[in-house]
């Protein structure tokens, strides 16, 4: 996969102005361009009016909290990748963020180097290949059709509104249709990072995919749980 473009433009949102400024300086030194925001309403306005490559969004914000900002962005069709920052021990915030359309999350306080690694993984997933020679043919699995180059998925001819993380995880599952894929592989190939202890990101993205595919849990879902291993796309590949 191609590396992220030079100087990606980030919206960095945190109500701790000193922390936000310090983190912004670190990210600029790492080759990013940054705009800072310290409350939910100004963050939402900025996110809807400027073409950011990614958003780093704290949950605890005045006026609108981070979850509310994210939900409004997604309802308005904004698909900018979002990395949520949650307080340590607030697992419910992490889960709600992923369920609302976040691409990834980190708990605070976080190592800036780890944040940069997560950001680069998020940006790599969001890139659409531009060179015609690198375009891959669509993948047909049941009534699903995944277009790798356009990063688009349709089901019964209807486009699905997926985040970049959901698309990448589904891509990995469809390539291995009929075979179980471990959570470790889904995290590594789908999210671009190693699976951490107590990390539920893959599980939440799978739950979101099942909902968007229009199927419930269990045998009615095209994505089956393989106990002790991970997940499997159970639909046969069509020619």
pLDDT attached to residue 89: 63
Instruction: Cite the residue boundaries of each domain of the chain with CATH code 3.40.50.2300.
Output: 9-126
Query: Could you count the other beta carbons within 10 Å of the beta carbon of residue 213?
Result: 19
The CATH T-level fold of domain 132-233 is Arc Repressor Mutant, subunit A (1.10.10)
pLDDT attached to residue 127: 63
pLDDT attached to residue 235: 62
Q: Where are the extended beta strands (E) located within the chain?
A: 9-13, 33-37, 54-58, 82-87, 104-108, 139-141, 144-147, 152-155, 158-159, 181-182, 223-226, 230-233
* 3-class secondary structure, 230: strand
Q: Minimal CA–CA distance to 230: which of 193, 196, 191, 179?
A: 179
Strand partners for 10: 34, 54
Instruction: Cite the residue boundaries of each domain of the chain with CATH code 1.10.10.10.
Output: 132-233
The CATH T-level fold of domain 9-126 is Rossmann fold (3.40.50)
Q: Is the peptide bond before 109 cis (omega within 30 degrees of 0)?
A: yes
Average pLDDT per block of 10 residues along the chain, 239 residues long: 68 94 94 95 95 94 94 91 83 83 87 91 68 65 82 87 90 90 92 83 91 65 88 67
- CA-CA-CA-CA torsion for 168, 86, 40, 50, nearest 10 degrees? -30
């Amino acid at each position: 996969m191609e590396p992220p473009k030079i100087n990606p433009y980030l919206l960095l949102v945190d109500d701790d102005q000193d922390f936000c400024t310090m983190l912004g300086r670190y990210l600029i030194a790492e080759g990013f361009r940054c705009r800072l925001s310290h409350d939910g309403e100004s963050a939402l306005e900025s996110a809807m009016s400027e073409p950011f490559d990614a958003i780093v969004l704290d949950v605890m914000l005045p006026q609108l909290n981070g979850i509310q900002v994210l939900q409004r962005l997604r309802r308005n069709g904004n698909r900018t990748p979002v990395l949520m920052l949650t307080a340590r021990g607030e697992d419910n915030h992490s889960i709600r963020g992923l369920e609302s359309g976040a691409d990834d999350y980190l708990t605070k306080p976080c190592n800036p180097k780890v944040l940069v690694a997560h950001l680069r993984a998020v940006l790599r997933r969001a890139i659409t290949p531009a060179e015609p020679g690198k375009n891959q043919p669509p993948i047909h699995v049941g009534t699903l059709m995944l277009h790798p180059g356009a990063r688009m998925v349709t089901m019964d001819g209807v486009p699905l509104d997926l985040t970049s993380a959901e698309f990448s995880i589904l891509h990995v599952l469809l390539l291995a249709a009929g075979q179980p894929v471990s959570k470790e592989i889904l995290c590594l190939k789908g999210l671009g990072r190693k699976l951490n202890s107590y990390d539920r990101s893959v599980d939440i993205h799978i739950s979101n995919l099942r909902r968007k595919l229009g199927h419930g849990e269990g045998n009615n879902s095209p994505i089956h749980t393989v106990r002790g291993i991970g997940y499997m796309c159970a639909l046969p590949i069509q020619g």
